[in-house]
């Protein structure tokens, strides 16, 4: 299981050039890839997106690619001859106008702002792609390890909550078995208090108890919850992305608990249902982070 939140960095240095790729991601229902590239490398946008789509099924993924010159070379040194000529002409005019004794040297001109600059040597996308691809693969490996670590924490938390839900369901089933007897005793007591005592085997009393028991029967909901728990456990153990399926199933868990709460007319069951819905809601919150 992997989280949708993660970070990874990969880099490789070749012939004095460092290629670095960083990947970060946050939650998103669908896959959304954002690629940050320099203008020289913009044609690599499609292969980068394709590689990310093969590694990630959903989430907002930001990929940043940087190419850095590790040392300056003769090719990086640029002299603006036109600007140097302007500085020289201006200096000569000042010397003549003010009758200055000092002459103008090349060093003076080279120190003038903007005459000399270091610029990155342009990197061709086609020749850079193999190195960027290697850095990308390294960053994906680190990225997936980061997501797997977070996913493992999420899995442990949800497994603990699933065990809690199984225990709550057992308690609910135990309470449900006593609902009919509880209602019969309660109904008989109310009749006696109203001055209308009836024997426990009275046909009208038995019919009312039978109707109540049928209306409050939650055996189907208990069976469905047991099946949902089993399926949720399978999702937790799966090596494939199951975030969407787990999100849907957690909604079904909440629906079954709601049905039990509305059908079972007993305070003990109602309290267990409230606790169960709280645990399901916490699971749903965690599922939002699962790929």
**Would you tell me how many other CB atoms lie within 10 Å of the CB of residue 260?**
24
pTM metric for this prediction: 0.70
Gap between the Cα atoms of 105 and 8, Å rounded: 52
Domain extents in the chain: 6-71+124-147, 74-118, 150-287
Which positions ≥6 away from 3 have C-beta within 8 Å?
Answer: 147, 148, 150, 151, 154, 289, 290, 291
Task: Decide which of 185 and 224 is more confident.
Answer: 224
In the chain, % of residues over pLDDT 70: 81
The pLDDT assigned to 290 comes to 94
The 10s digit of each residue's pLDDT in 55-108 is: 999 999 999 999 987 765 555 667 888 888 888 888 888 777 777 666 677 887
What's the confidence (pLDDT) of residue 18?
Answer: 92
- pLDDT, one tens digit per residue, over 152-183 is 999 999 999 999 999 999 999 988 877 656 66
User: Class for domain 6-71+124-147, per CATH?
Assistant: alpha beta
Q: What is the distance between the alpha carbons of residues 257 and 275, in angstroms, rounded to a whole number? A: 10
Residue 117 pLDDT level (bands cut at 50, 70, 90)? confident
3, burial (CB in 10 Å: exposed 0-12, middle 13-18, buried 19+): buried
Q: Is the pLDDT assigned to residue 229 strictly greater than 90?
A: yes
Burial of 212 (0-12, 13-18, 19+ CB in 10 A): middle
Q: What is the DSSP pairing of strand 59-69 with strand 31-36?
A: parallel
Least confident of 170-179, 253-262, 266-275: 170-179
What is the reported pLDDT for 185?
Answer: 60
Reading the block at residue 96, the tokens are 């003549």
pLDDT tens digit sequence for 24-52: 999 998 999 999 998 889 999 999 999 99
Asked if residues 272 and 171 have their Cβ atoms less than 8 Å apart, the reply is yes
């Amino acid at each position: 299981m992997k989280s949708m939140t993660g970070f990874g960095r990969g880099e490789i240095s070749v012939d004095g050039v460092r290629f670095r790729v960083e990947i970060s991601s946050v939650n998103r229902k669908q896959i959304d890839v954002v690629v940050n590239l320099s203008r020289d490398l913009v044609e690599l946008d499609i292969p980068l997106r394709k590689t990310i789509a093969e590694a990630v099924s959903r989430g907002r993924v930001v990929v940043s690619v940087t190419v850095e010159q590790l040392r300056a070379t003769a090719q990086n040194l640029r002299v603006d001859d036109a600007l140097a000529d302007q500085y020289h002409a201006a200096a000569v005019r000042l010397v003549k106008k003010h009758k200055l004794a000092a002459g103008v040297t090349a060093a003076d001109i080279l120190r003038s702002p903007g005459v000399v600059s270091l610029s990155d040597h342009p990197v061709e996308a086609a020749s850079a792609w193999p190195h960027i691809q290697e850095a990308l693969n390294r960053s994906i490996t680190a990225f997936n390890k980061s997501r797997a670590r977070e996913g493992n924490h999420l899995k442990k938390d949800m497994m603990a909550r699933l065990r809690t839900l199984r225990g709550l369901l057992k308690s609910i089933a135990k309470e449900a078995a006593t609902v009919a007897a509880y209602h019969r005793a309660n109904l008989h007591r109310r009749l006696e208090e109203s001055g209308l005592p009836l024997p426990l085997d009275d046909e009208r009393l038995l019919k009312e108890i039978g109707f109540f028991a049928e209306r409050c029967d939650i055996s189907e909901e208990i069976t469905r919850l047991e099946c949902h728990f089993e399926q949720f456990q399978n999702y937790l153990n799966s090596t494939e992305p199951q975030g969407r399926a787990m999100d849907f199933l957690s909604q079904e868990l909440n629906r079954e608990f709601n049905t039990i709460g509305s059908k079972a007319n007993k305070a003990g069951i109602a309290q267990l249902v409230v606790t169960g819905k709280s645990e399901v809601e916490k699971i749903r919150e965690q599922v939002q982070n699962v790929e």
